[in-house]
Amino acid sequence: NENTILPIEYDSIHRISYSSDRNNPKYALHKNGKFAIANSLCRKITPLKYEKVCECGGKMNNKWCIINDTGHEHSDFIYDDISYCANDSILVKINNLYGVVGSDGHIILPLEYDNIHRIWGHELLEVKKNSKVGIINKEWEEILPLRYDKISVYEDAYVVECDGKSILYDTNIGVLFTSKSEGIKHLKGGLFSVLSNGRYGIYSTIECRLILDCIYDEINSYGDGINASSHDWNIKLGSS
């Protein structure tokens, strides 16, 4: 219809929420160098006073505060940076240290990490401290301790690098296979190329066993299949 929801007085209006709640977006209202936040109904929920706004906060004097869905400020202007994290939580930064707080400002993860980033598609966070990384789930439980050099996350398992070793790991079962550093590579689905005594095989995290012995010089995935080759011969495994 032709009803005016917001008065035609703003220099710009743009969407600022993409990750927290796609069905209830928020908008930044800009006028004369100041910003306010509007809700999904395009109703202004904060004063037009901020230097900058995001879906979870406002910035003044180069510091951020947390703002909830009704426009209430739930912290002082103390953060160097903030961004939406997961499950109604906010990633915050002070003096190059990261933590996570709730939308009401309560501390979920303390400000002690060198980095925190969301692993998209898995509802997991990778946290880093003193050059070591770990994994925290959506219930804020540590499922991989902060002791690894590198962690790669897959649908059925993790590949972790630690103490010169590459480890295929399942959080419910534990260690599935151990190889030398960088000796485990994901092929596709629950299949991994694993190195043992200088030869490659295939480990299935679905069956929790080697399905191809470590007797090959090279194993690679291609298209819908996998190629396992030795010096004198090779085999191709189809997608089935």
C-alpha distances in Å from residue 180, one per residue of 77, 115, 147, 167, 200: 48, 27, 17, 8, 12
Contacts of 145 (CB under 8 A, 6+ apart): 134
Question: What pLDDT is recorded for position 101?
Answer: 96
Question: What pLDDT is recorded for position 99?
Answer: 97
Question: What pLDDT is recorded for position 240?
Answer: 42
Question: What pLDDT is recorded for position 88?
Answer: 83
Nearest one of 14, 93, 21 to 53, comparing CA atoms:
14
Question: What pLDDT is recorded for position 106?
Answer: 92
Q: 178: exposed, middle or buried (C-beta count within 10 Å: 0-12, 13-18, 19+)?
A: middle
- The side-by-side arrangement of strands in the sheet containing 184-188 is 184-188, 191-196, 199-204, 209-216
pTM, full prediction: 0.84
pLDDT in tens, 124-161: 999 999 999 999 998 999 999 999 999 999 988 999 99
Question: What pLDDT is recorded for position 237?
Answer: 61
Parts of the chain with a pLDDT under 50? 1, 239-240
CA distance 110 to 189: 35
**What is the identity of the amino acid at 90?**
I
CA distance 90 to 102: 6
Question: What pLDDT is recorded for position 86?
Answer: 80
Question: What pLDDT is recorded for position 21?
Answer: 58
- Note whether 48 and 29 are within 8 A (CB): yes
